[in-house]
A and B are shown apart, each in its own frame.
Chain A
Amino acid sequence: MQNAAPMFQENERREWMGLLARAPLALLEAWASRQPERAVSWLRRPESGLAMVRGRAGGTGAQFNLGEMTVTRCALKLEGAAAGVAYVQGRSARKAELAALADALLQTAARDAVRRELLEPVRTRLDADAARQRRKAQATKVEFYTLAREAGV
Protein backbone atom coordinates (compact mmCIF):
# COMPACT_ATOMS: atom_id res chain seq x y z
CA MET A 1 0.00 0.00 0.00
CA GLN A 2 1.42 3.38 -0.93
CA ASN A 3 1.50 5.93 1.82
CA ALA A 4 1.94 9.02 -0.30
CA ALA A 5 0.41 12.06 1.34
CA PRO A 6 -3.10 12.48 -0.03
CA MET A 7 -3.69 15.60 -2.09
CA PHE A 8 -6.89 16.41 -0.28
CA GLN A 9 -8.33 16.52 3.21
CA GLU A 10 -10.94 13.99 4.24
CA ASN A 11 -13.59 16.65 4.82
CA GLU A 12 -12.89 18.08 1.36
CA ARG A 13 -13.68 14.72 -0.17
CA ARG A 14 -16.79 14.40 1.96
CA GLU A 15 -17.97 17.72 0.60
CA TRP A 16 -17.43 16.87 -3.07
CA MET A 17 -18.98 13.41 -2.63
CA GLY A 18 -22.04 15.17 -1.24
CA LEU A 19 -22.18 17.57 -4.18
CA LEU A 20 -21.76 14.76 -6.71
CA ALA A 21 -24.44 12.67 -4.99
CA ARG A 22 -27.00 15.45 -5.45
CA ALA A 23 -25.79 16.79 -8.80
CA PRO A 24 -28.37 16.83 -11.60
CA LEU A 25 -27.51 14.37 -14.36
CA ALA A 26 -27.67 17.12 -16.99
CA LEU A 27 -24.77 18.99 -15.39
CA LEU A 28 -22.70 15.81 -15.12
CA GLU A 29 -23.38 14.96 -18.77
CA ALA A 30 -22.45 18.46 -19.88
CA TRP A 31 -19.16 18.16 -18.04
CA ALA A 32 -18.50 14.63 -19.32
CA SER A 33 -19.07 15.63 -22.95
CA ARG A 34 -16.06 17.97 -22.70
CA GLN A 35 -13.81 15.26 -21.23
CA PRO A 36 -11.33 13.25 -23.28
CA GLU A 37 -11.83 9.47 -23.52
CA ARG A 38 -10.26 7.81 -20.50
CA ALA A 39 -9.51 4.16 -19.93
CA VAL A 40 -11.38 3.03 -16.83
CA SER A 41 -11.89 -0.39 -15.33
CA TRP A 42 -14.79 -1.34 -13.09
CA LEU A 43 -14.20 -2.39 -9.52
CA ARG A 44 -17.93 -2.53 -8.96
CA ARG A 45 -20.47 -1.94 -11.70
CA PRO A 46 -23.38 0.38 -10.88
CA GLU A 47 -25.93 -1.32 -8.64
CA SER A 48 -29.06 0.12 -7.10
CA GLY A 49 -30.29 -0.59 -3.62
CA LEU A 50 -32.10 0.86 -0.67
CA ALA A 51 -30.44 2.79 2.12
CA MET A 52 -32.15 3.60 5.41
CA VAL A 53 -32.05 7.30 6.16
CA ARG A 54 -31.83 8.01 9.86
CA GLY A 55 -32.38 11.23 11.69
CA ARG A 56 -32.34 12.77 15.14
CA ALA A 57 -35.00 15.29 16.12
CA GLY A 58 -33.23 18.62 16.40
CA GLY A 59 -29.95 16.88 15.67
CA THR A 60 -29.66 15.73 19.29
CA GLY A 61 -32.72 13.59 20.03
CA ALA A 62 -33.05 9.84 19.86
CA GLN A 63 -32.23 8.24 16.52
CA PHE A 64 -35.19 7.26 14.39
CA ASN A 65 -35.64 5.80 10.91
CA LEU A 66 -36.87 8.47 8.55
CA GLY A 67 -37.39 6.11 5.62
CA GLU A 68 -35.64 4.30 2.85
CA MET A 69 -34.25 5.93 -0.26
CA THR A 70 -32.91 4.53 -3.50
CA VAL A 71 -29.15 4.75 -3.85
CA THR A 72 -26.95 3.71 -6.76
CA ARG A 73 -23.31 3.02 -6.15
CA CYS A 74 -20.29 2.05 -8.20
CA ALA A 75 -16.51 2.07 -8.06
CA LEU A 76 -14.07 2.39 -10.92
CA LYS A 77 -10.37 2.75 -11.42
CA LEU A 78 -8.67 5.19 -13.74
CA GLU A 79 -5.80 3.81 -15.78
CA GLY A 80 -2.71 4.19 -13.63
CA ALA A 81 -4.40 6.50 -11.15
CA ALA A 82 -6.82 6.71 -8.29
CA ALA A 83 -10.01 4.77 -7.73
CA GLY A 84 -13.27 6.68 -7.72
CA VAL A 85 -16.38 5.81 -5.75
CA ALA A 86 -19.90 7.14 -6.03
CA TYR A 87 -23.04 6.79 -3.97
CA VAL A 88 -25.74 8.81 -5.67
CA GLN A 89 -29.41 9.45 -5.08
CA GLY A 90 -31.78 7.63 -7.43
CA ARG A 91 -31.41 4.79 -9.88
CA SER A 92 -29.33 6.32 -12.64
CA ALA A 93 -26.33 4.11 -13.39
CA ARG A 94 -24.97 6.77 -15.70
CA LYS A 95 -25.04 9.35 -12.93
CA ALA A 96 -23.16 7.03 -10.59
CA GLU A 97 -20.58 6.34 -13.29
CA LEU A 98 -19.94 10.03 -13.98
CA ALA A 99 -19.82 10.88 -10.28
CA ALA A 100 -17.26 8.12 -9.69
CA LEU A 101 -15.19 9.38 -12.60
CA ALA A 102 -15.27 12.89 -11.14
CA ASP A 103 -14.29 11.53 -7.72
CA ALA A 104 -11.30 9.73 -9.24
CA LEU A 105 -10.19 12.84 -11.15
CA LEU A 106 -10.54 15.01 -8.04
CA GLN A 107 -7.83 12.85 -6.48
CA THR A 108 -5.43 13.53 -9.34
CA ALA A 109 -3.64 16.60 -10.67
CA ALA A 110 -6.77 17.39 -12.71
CA ARG A 111 -8.64 18.35 -9.56
CA ASP A 112 -8.59 22.13 -10.10
CA ALA A 113 -10.15 21.80 -13.53
CA VAL A 114 -12.84 19.47 -12.18
CA ARG A 115 -13.57 21.85 -9.33
CA ARG A 116 -13.94 24.75 -11.74
CA GLU A 117 -15.87 22.99 -14.48
CA LEU A 118 -18.06 20.65 -12.46
CA LEU A 119 -18.23 21.30 -8.72
CA GLU A 120 -18.78 25.06 -8.93
CA PRO A 121 -21.70 24.87 -11.40
CA VAL A 122 -23.23 22.07 -9.31
CA ARG A 123 -22.87 24.06 -6.12
CA THR A 124 -24.44 27.13 -7.78
CA ARG A 125 -27.36 25.07 -9.08
CA LEU A 126 -27.99 23.34 -5.75
CA ASP A 127 -27.81 26.65 -3.86
CA ALA A 128 -30.28 28.20 -6.30
CA ASP A 129 -32.63 25.23 -5.93
CA ALA A 130 -32.44 25.45 -2.16
CA ALA A 131 -33.07 29.20 -2.20
CA ARG A 132 -36.12 28.77 -4.44
CA GLN A 133 -37.44 26.06 -2.14
CA ARG A 134 -36.96 28.34 0.87
CA ARG A 135 -38.79 31.20 -0.84
CA LYS A 136 -41.73 28.97 -1.67
CA ALA A 137 -41.88 27.68 1.88
CA GLN A 138 -41.54 31.18 3.28
CA ALA A 139 -44.52 32.35 1.23
CA THR A 140 -46.79 29.84 2.92
CA LYS A 141 -45.61 30.60 6.44
CA VAL A 142 -48.47 31.22 8.86
CA GLU A 143 -47.93 33.62 11.76
CA PHE A 144 -49.98 31.96 14.45
CA TYR A 145 -49.73 34.77 16.98
CA THR A 146 -51.42 37.09 14.47
CA LEU A 147 -54.41 34.79 14.24
CA ALA A 148 -54.58 34.58 18.02
CA ARG A 149 -54.59 38.37 18.34
CA GLU A 150 -57.31 38.82 15.74
CA ALA A 151 -59.45 36.29 17.56
CA GLY A 152 -59.41 38.72 20.44
CA VAL A 153 -57.75 36.44 22.98
Chain B
Amino acid sequence: MVDLADVAPGFADATLESQAVFRLGLAALAQPGTIVECADFPKPPRGVHAAANALLLALLDQDCRLWLSPSLNGAVAGYLRFHTGCVLVGEARQASFALVAEPAELPPLGGFDAGSDEFPDRSASVIVQVGALAAAGPWRLRGPGIRSEARLQAAGLGADFLAQWRHNAALFPCGVDLFLASGSRLSGLPRTTRIET
Protein backbone atom coordinates (compact mmCIF):
# COMPACT_ATOMS: atom_id res chain seq x y z
CA MET B 1 0.00 0.00 0.00
CA VAL B 2 1.19 3.50 -0.78
CA ASP B 3 1.78 5.89 2.07
CA LEU B 4 0.11 9.09 0.89
CA ALA B 5 2.48 11.17 3.00
CA ASP B 6 5.19 10.22 0.46
CA VAL B 7 3.16 11.10 -2.65
CA ALA B 8 3.95 14.44 -4.28
CA PRO B 9 1.26 16.65 -5.84
CA GLY B 10 0.31 16.17 -9.49
CA PHE B 11 -1.04 18.82 -11.85
CA ALA B 12 -2.27 21.93 -10.02
CA ASP B 13 -5.05 22.31 -12.60
CA ALA B 14 -5.61 18.85 -14.05
CA THR B 15 -7.88 19.95 -16.90
CA LEU B 16 -5.85 22.79 -18.39
CA GLU B 17 -2.41 21.34 -17.74
CA SER B 18 -3.19 17.91 -19.12
CA GLN B 19 -4.65 19.56 -22.23
CA ALA B 20 -1.46 21.61 -22.62
CA VAL B 21 0.72 18.51 -22.27
CA PHE B 22 -1.50 16.55 -24.66
CA ARG B 23 -1.01 19.32 -27.23
CA LEU B 24 2.76 19.12 -26.77
CA GLY B 25 2.74 15.33 -27.13
CA LEU B 26 0.63 15.65 -30.27
CA ALA B 27 3.08 18.17 -31.73
CA ALA B 28 6.00 15.88 -30.92
CA LEU B 29 4.39 12.91 -32.69
CA ALA B 30 3.10 14.93 -35.64
CA GLN B 31 6.49 16.41 -36.40
CA PRO B 32 9.12 13.81 -35.60
CA GLY B 33 12.52 15.32 -34.96
CA THR B 34 11.23 18.49 -33.32
CA ILE B 35 11.81 18.81 -29.61
CA VAL B 36 9.11 20.28 -27.43
CA GLU B 37 9.62 21.71 -23.96
CA CYS B 38 7.43 20.48 -21.11
CA ALA B 39 8.54 22.97 -18.51
CA ASP B 40 6.56 24.23 -15.52
CA PHE B 41 4.89 20.96 -14.75
CA PRO B 42 4.90 19.09 -11.44
CA LYS B 43 8.12 17.96 -9.86
CA PRO B 44 8.41 14.30 -10.86
CA PRO B 45 9.17 11.46 -8.46
CA ARG B 46 12.82 10.42 -8.23
CA GLY B 47 14.04 8.62 -11.35
CA VAL B 48 11.44 10.10 -13.70
CA HIS B 49 12.17 12.95 -16.10
CA ALA B 50 9.82 15.93 -16.01
CA ALA B 51 8.66 15.49 -19.62
CA ALA B 52 7.92 11.78 -19.17
CA ASN B 53 6.08 12.49 -15.94
CA ALA B 54 3.93 15.25 -17.43
CA LEU B 55 3.06 13.11 -20.45
CA LEU B 56 2.02 10.14 -18.30
CA LEU B 57 -0.06 12.34 -15.98
CA ALA B 58 -1.84 13.72 -19.05
CA LEU B 59 -2.39 10.46 -20.93
CA LEU B 60 -3.07 7.81 -18.32
CA ASP B 61 -6.43 6.95 -16.83
CA GLN B 62 -8.01 3.91 -15.26
CA ASP B 63 -8.34 2.13 -18.61
CA CYS B 64 -4.56 2.24 -19.23
CA ARG B 65 -2.16 -0.56 -18.41
CA LEU B 66 1.27 0.77 -17.48
CA TRP B 67 4.56 -1.13 -17.42
CA LEU B 68 7.52 0.35 -15.54
CA SER B 69 11.08 -0.73 -16.26
CA PRO B 70 12.74 -2.57 -13.34
CA SER B 71 14.69 0.30 -11.76
CA LEU B 72 11.60 2.48 -11.34
CA ASN B 73 10.65 1.69 -7.79
CA GLY B 74 7.43 1.54 -5.85
CA ALA B 75 7.31 5.29 -5.23
CA VAL B 76 6.95 5.97 -8.98
CA ALA B 77 4.25 3.33 -9.26
CA GLY B 78 2.43 4.73 -6.22
CA TYR B 79 2.60 8.28 -7.57
CA LEU B 80 1.21 7.40 -11.00
CA ARG B 81 -1.40 5.05 -9.54
CA PHE B 82 -2.66 7.73 -7.18
CA HIS B 83 -2.84 10.55 -9.70
CA THR B 84 -4.09 8.67 -12.75
CA GLY B 85 -5.73 5.48 -11.49
CA CYS B 86 -3.86 3.45 -14.13
CA VAL B 87 -3.36 -0.30 -13.81
CA LEU B 88 0.19 -1.58 -13.37
CA VAL B 89 1.21 -4.70 -15.23
CA GLY B 90 4.24 -6.92 -14.69
CA GLU B 91 4.78 -7.94 -18.32
CA ALA B 92 5.76 -5.48 -21.07
CA ARG B 93 3.51 -7.36 -23.52
CA GLN B 94 0.36 -6.53 -21.54
CA ALA B 95 1.04 -2.79 -21.39
CA SER B 96 -0.65 -0.01 -23.33
CA PHE B 97 1.91 2.45 -21.97
CA ALA B 98 5.47 1.84 -20.83
CA LEU B 99 7.99 4.01 -19.05
CA VAL B 100 11.62 3.00 -19.48
CA ALA B 101 14.08 4.61 -17.05
CA GLU B 102 17.10 4.51 -19.38
CA PRO B 103 17.99 3.03 -22.77
CA ALA B 104 19.81 0.10 -21.12
CA GLU B 105 16.50 -1.04 -19.62
CA LEU B 106 14.58 -0.94 -22.90
CA PRO B 107 13.32 -4.45 -23.59
CA PRO B 108 13.16 -5.67 -27.22
CA LEU B 109 10.56 -3.55 -29.04
CA GLY B 110 9.00 -6.77 -30.31
CA GLY B 111 8.10 -7.53 -26.70
CA PHE B 112 5.51 -4.74 -26.64
CA ASP B 113 1.97 -4.97 -27.95
CA ALA B 114 2.12 -3.94 -31.62
CA GLY B 115 -1.66 -3.88 -32.05
CA SER B 116 -3.64 -6.00 -34.49
CA ASP B 117 -4.58 -5.53 -38.14
CA GLU B 118 -8.13 -4.69 -37.02
CA PHE B 119 -6.97 -2.26 -34.30
CA PRO B 120 -3.42 -1.07 -34.97
CA ASP B 121 -4.19 2.01 -32.87
CA ARG B 122 -4.27 -0.12 -29.75
CA SER B 123 -0.53 -0.74 -29.80
CA ALA B 124 1.72 0.29 -26.93
CA SER B 125 3.18 3.79 -26.52
CA VAL B 126 6.65 3.57 -25.04
CA ILE B 127 8.36 6.46 -23.27
CA VAL B 128 12.12 6.06 -23.16
CA GLN B 129 14.17 8.38 -20.97
CA VAL B 130 17.51 9.29 -22.52
CA GLY B 131 20.49 11.15 -21.14
CA ALA B 132 20.48 13.81 -23.85
CA LEU B 133 18.21 14.79 -26.70
CA ALA B 134 19.20 17.18 -29.49
CA ALA B 135 17.69 18.21 -32.82
CA ALA B 136 21.03 17.69 -34.50
CA GLY B 137 23.34 14.75 -34.78
CA PRO B 138 23.69 11.36 -36.36
CA TRP B 139 20.09 10.29 -36.96
CA ARG B 140 18.45 11.42 -40.20
CA LEU B 141 14.69 11.08 -39.87
CA ARG B 142 12.34 10.74 -42.84
CA GLY B 143 8.65 10.04 -43.15
CA PRO B 144 5.24 11.64 -42.60
CA GLY B 145 5.42 14.96 -40.78
CA ILE B 146 8.95 15.71 -41.97
CA ARG B 147 9.38 18.01 -44.96
CA SER B 148 12.63 16.56 -46.22
CA GLU B 149 14.83 15.40 -43.43
CA ALA B 150 15.15 16.00 -39.69
CA ARG B 151 18.10 15.41 -37.44
CA LEU B 152 18.00 13.89 -33.99
CA GLN B 153 20.37 12.64 -31.39
CA ALA B 154 19.22 10.43 -28.52
CA ALA B 155 22.02 9.43 -26.19
CA GLY B 156 22.23 5.73 -25.44
CA LEU B 157 20.15 4.34 -28.31
CA GLY B 158 22.55 2.50 -30.60
CA ALA B 159 22.71 0.25 -33.66
CA ASP B 160 20.80 -2.51 -31.92
CA PHE B 161 17.89 -0.14 -31.34
CA LEU B 162 17.95 1.00 -34.99
CA ALA B 163 17.67 -2.62 -36.16
CA GLN B 164 14.67 -3.15 -33.89
CA TRP B 165 13.16 0.12 -35.12
CA ARG B 166 13.44 -1.04 -38.75
CA HIS B 167 11.67 -4.24 -37.78
CA ASN B 168 8.98 -2.20 -36.00
CA ALA B 169 8.43 -0.11 -39.15
CA ALA B 170 8.04 -3.29 -41.19
CA LEU B 171 5.00 -4.23 -39.08
CA PHE B 172 3.04 -1.22 -40.41
CA PRO B 173 0.12 -0.51 -39.85
CA CYS B 174 0.96 -2.23 -36.56
CA GLY B 175 3.94 -1.27 -34.40
CA VAL B 176 4.72 0.71 -31.28
CA ASP B 177 5.16 4.49 -31.06
CA LEU B 178 7.99 5.95 -29.06
CA PHE B 179 8.45 9.11 -27.05
CA LEU B 180 11.95 10.16 -26.07
CA ALA B 181 12.24 12.25 -22.92
CA SER B 182 15.24 13.99 -21.48
CA GLY B 183 14.66 16.35 -18.59
CA SER B 184 11.84 18.63 -19.72
CA ARG B 185 12.51 17.93 -23.43
CA LEU B 186 10.29 15.60 -25.39
CA SER B 187 10.44 14.19 -28.89
CA GLY B 188 8.22 11.72 -30.70
CA LEU B 189 9.09 8.77 -32.91
CA PRO B 190 5.91 7.43 -34.49
CA ARG B 191 6.00 4.03 -36.18
CA THR B 192 6.08 5.68 -39.62
CA THR B 193 9.40 7.46 -39.09
CA ARG B 194 12.43 5.94 -40.78
CA ILE B 195 15.82 6.48 -39.18
CA GLU B 196 19.02 6.47 -41.21
CA THR B 197 22.52 7.11 -39.99
Segment of A25-33, A41-49, A115-123 in the binding face: A41-49
Determine which of B5, B10, B83 lies in contact with A83 in the assembled complex, contact meaning CB atoms within 8 Å: B5
Q: How many residues of B contact A (CB 8 A)?
A: 12
Cβ < 8 Å to B, chain A residues 51-76: 75
Counting chain A CB atoms within 10 Å of each CB, the highest count among B3, B7, B9 belongs to B9
Contacts of B6 in A (CB 8 A): 1
Determine which of A42, A44, A45, A82 lies in contact with B5 in the assembled complex, contact meaning CB atoms within 8 Å: A82
Q: How many residues of A contact B (CB 8 A)?
A: 13
Q: Does chain A have a CB within 8 A of B161?
A: no
Q: Does chain B have a CB within 8 A of A91?
A: no
Contacts of A82 in B (CB 8 A): 5
Question: In the bound complex, what is the Cα–Cα distance between A5 and B62 (angstroms)?
Answer: 32
Q: Does chain A have a CB within 8 A of B139?
A: no
Question: In the bound complex, what is the Cα–Cα distance between A43 and B3 (angstroms)?
Answer: 12
Q: Is the CB of B10 within 8 A of A44?
A: yes
Q: Does chain A have a CB within 8 A of B82?
A: yes
Q: Is the CB of A44 within 8 A of B83?
A: yes
Q: Is the CB of A45 within 8 A of B14?
A: yes
Question: In the bound complex, what is the Cα–Cα distance between A81 and B6 (angstroms)?
Answer: 11
Q: How far is the CB of A44 from chain B (nearest CB, A)?
A: 7
Counting chain A CB atoms within 10 Å of each CB, the highest count among B5, B9, B14, B82 belongs to B5
Q: Is the CB of A1 within 8 A of B3?
A: yes
Determine which of A1, A2, A43, A81 lies in contact with B9 in the assembled complex, contact meaning CB atoms within 8 Å: A43
Give the B-binding residues of A (Cβ under 8 A): 1-2, 41-45, 75, 77, 81-83, 85
